[in-house]
Amino acid sequence: MICIRISLAGALIAAACVPPAAHAAVASEAYPSKPIRFLVGFPPGGGNDTIARMVGQKLSERFGKPVVIDNRPGAGGNMAAQFLTSAPADGHTILMISASHPIQGLLKKGLPYDPIRDFTGVSQLVVYRSVLLAHPGFGGTSLRDLIALAKSKPGTLNFASAGNGSASHLAGELLKYTAKVDMTHVPYKGTAQAVTDLLAGRVHVMFAPLLTAMPQLQSGKLRGLGVTTKNRSRVLPDVPAVAEAVPGYDNPGWYGIVAPPATPKRILDRLNAEVIQVLSLPDVVEKLQAEDMDIVKATPAHLDAVRKAELVKWTRVVKETGIQAD
């Protein structure tokens, strides 16, 4: 009995002498304890799905746990976002978002969640350019031609999007607002479906991430009229910036990961650190740079600041144009 008491006392003393950092390391190693569900609010084949699968696969390899992509398309990504709001705040359910996510409350009446308050940043992943794609038979060869047609025949040209309130929808609305033209919005349930109808000539134009657009541009099946940033793309130098025909147009896109707001900081920090390591892998860097994406390696707080800035940017535009996604 004496020996047992001495042993227990020794163990307690030893535990007390372990540095706090070691305790934190042990705690963080408990995560993840099961597969991670990675929600994507659009069908397979779009830019956000492609990036989620790339990052998810690498995270799975690093964690030694499956990262399962869960596509929940609908309502411009809001079905997946709403699902996250009821998920446990334990880091085992995360959501891919784009620049359109923070402003959903401006676009949809009665949205059952607050896009800023009800989510917390994990990591911004990339900033990217989208390209305005046109079917070769739309009636012109340039963005200036498109604008002239839209002004001569208001409402007769249409633009497709990945859904009401999606990033591609907002890019089209911003073009209408900045160029002062009237085009009809045709929403789909994802980028892949919209591109299919654009290829068939059922719609005239649409904005899409370069990641999605490149195969169609390289094959010549679709024409690039302009990219959404002030500067031209490194991989499409012959395609002008939209701003060259429509001064003031600047609409870079981005992807990021969010989690429920009560997620413990140690889990957010672990996720963030692992995502940054994934974004540093040579094969990931090569793939993203080939699609002209700028890699972002920053803190969860950085993404939260970006989300709030996006809301400020779009509040004025939405109020002046009356854009709604219902």
pTM of the model: 0.79
Residues 198 and 213: their CA atoms lie apart, in Å, by: 11
pLDDT along the chain (326 residues), means of 10: 38 43 48 97 89 97 97 89 97 95 90 96 95 91 96 95 88 94 92 93 93 89 95 93 95 95 97 98 94 93 96 88 77
How far is 182 from 147, CA to CA, in rounded Å?
A: 9
Are β-strands 36-40 and 93-98 bridged in parallel, bridged antiparallel, or unpaired? parallel
pLDDT of residue 82: 96
CB 165 within 8 A of CB 104: yes
Tell me the domains of the chain and their CATH numbers: 33-127+253-321 (3.40.190.150), 130-244 (3.40.190.10)
Q: What is the pLDDT of residue 29?
A: 56
What local confidence, expressed as pLDDT, does residue 109 receive?
84
pLDDT of residue 191: 87
pLDDT at site 316? 86
Q: What is the pLDDT of residue 114?
A: 96
Do the beta carbons of residue 191 and residue 45 sit within 8 Å?
yes
